[in-house]
């Protein structure tokens, strides 16, 4: 085998080992989620996860420092899904109310109610973990919502004495609070969030309405 062939073979071996590690990590992750769903995060034992995944305890800790790390992985995957849904829906957003409802629906309308308890555990972990303040203007979800608040203030649609970043923070805290605490089906969670958003907007508007799309105006 010439030097080029040896290099290609070595590259294939490295790629194969990397893929094996990815496959093992995913197997451990899925086993952990299955056990979380069966007995709850608090009652899950690492020994049971590794038994399901058919790996050693050391292998589990190679990929995840603990159960919270699995939840953080779930949270990161959920965030990717939420941002994707938000971007897809943003094509239809026209009014401030549209943007706020889209934000709430993207966070709360989980694809499967069967996964909601794990979703709630992941969100609760995020809520109780100190994170640096996000960049409100550049974030793929917070940015458009903050801009919608700023545009509504500039047009006189809503009061202008509260910074738009602060309004986004208040809104997101409320919505993530719903996601972390309410044990209801997705459609009920979304309807409750719509009600809260309409109340929120009425408090920001001089005429007491929630703006275009407000059921009270229909």
Averaged pLDDT in 10-residue chunks for the chain of 218 residues: 57 77 94 88 92 95 93 83 87 92 81 57 61 69 91 93 91 75 69 88 76 55
Domain identity same for 84 and 158: yes
CA-CA distance, 46 to 120, in Å (whole number)?
21
Domain identity same for 170 and 131: yes
Q: What is the pLDDT of residue 113?
A: 47
Domain identity same for 26 and 71: no
Q: What is the pLDDT of residue 29?
A: 94
Domain identity same for 95 and 44: no
Nearest 5°: CA angle at 166, between 160 and 171?
A: 105
Cα 47 to its chain centre, rounded Å, is 28
Domain identity same for 199 and 176: yes
User: What is the full DSSP assignment across 140-184?
Assistant: TTHHHHHHHHHHHHHTTSS-SSS-HHHHHHHHHHHHHHHHHH--S
Q: What is the pLDDT of residue 77?
A: 84
Which tokens go with 131? 């994170």
Q: What is the pLDDT of residue 145?
A: 92
Q: What is the pTM of this model?
A: 0.68
Q: What is the pLDDT of residue 218?
A: 47
The answer to whether position 1 is within a domain reads: yes
Task: Give which of 159, 150, 4, 144 is closest to 83, Cα–Cα.
Answer: 144
Domain of 46, CATH number, reads 1.10.10.60
Total count of domains within the chain: 2
Residue 95 structural domain: 67-211
Domain final residue, candidates 17, 48, 64:
64
Domain identity same for 95 and 156: yes
Domain of 93, CATH number, reads 1.10.357
């Amino acid at each position: 085998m010439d030097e080029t062939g040896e290099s290609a073979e070595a590259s294939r071996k490295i790629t194969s080992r990397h893929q094996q590690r990815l496959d093992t990590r995913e197997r451990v992750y899925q086993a952990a989620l299955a056990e979380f769903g069966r007995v709850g995060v608090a009652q899950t034992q690492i020994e049971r996860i590794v038994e399901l995944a058919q790996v050693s305890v050391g292998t589990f800790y190679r990929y995840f420092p603990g159960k919270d790390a699995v939840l953080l992985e779930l949270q990161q995957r959920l965030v990717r899904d939420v941002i994707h849904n938000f971007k897809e829906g943003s094509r239809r957003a026209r009014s401030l109310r549209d943007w706020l409802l889209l934000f709430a629906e993207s966070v709360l309308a989980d694809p499967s109610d069967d996964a909601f308890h794990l979703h709630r555990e992941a969100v609760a972990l995020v809520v109780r973990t100190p994170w640096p303040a996000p960049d409100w203007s550049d974030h793929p979800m917070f940015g458009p919502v903050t801009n919608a608040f700023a545009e509504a203030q500039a047009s006189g649609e809503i009061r202008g004495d509260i910074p738009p970043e602060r309004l986004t923070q208040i809104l997101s805290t409320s919505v993530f609070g719903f996601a972390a605490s309410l044990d209801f089906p997705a459609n009920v969670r979304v309807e409750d969030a719509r009600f809260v958003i309409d109340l929120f907007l009425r408090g920001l508007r001089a005429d007491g309405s929630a703006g275009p799309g407000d059921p009270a105006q229909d």
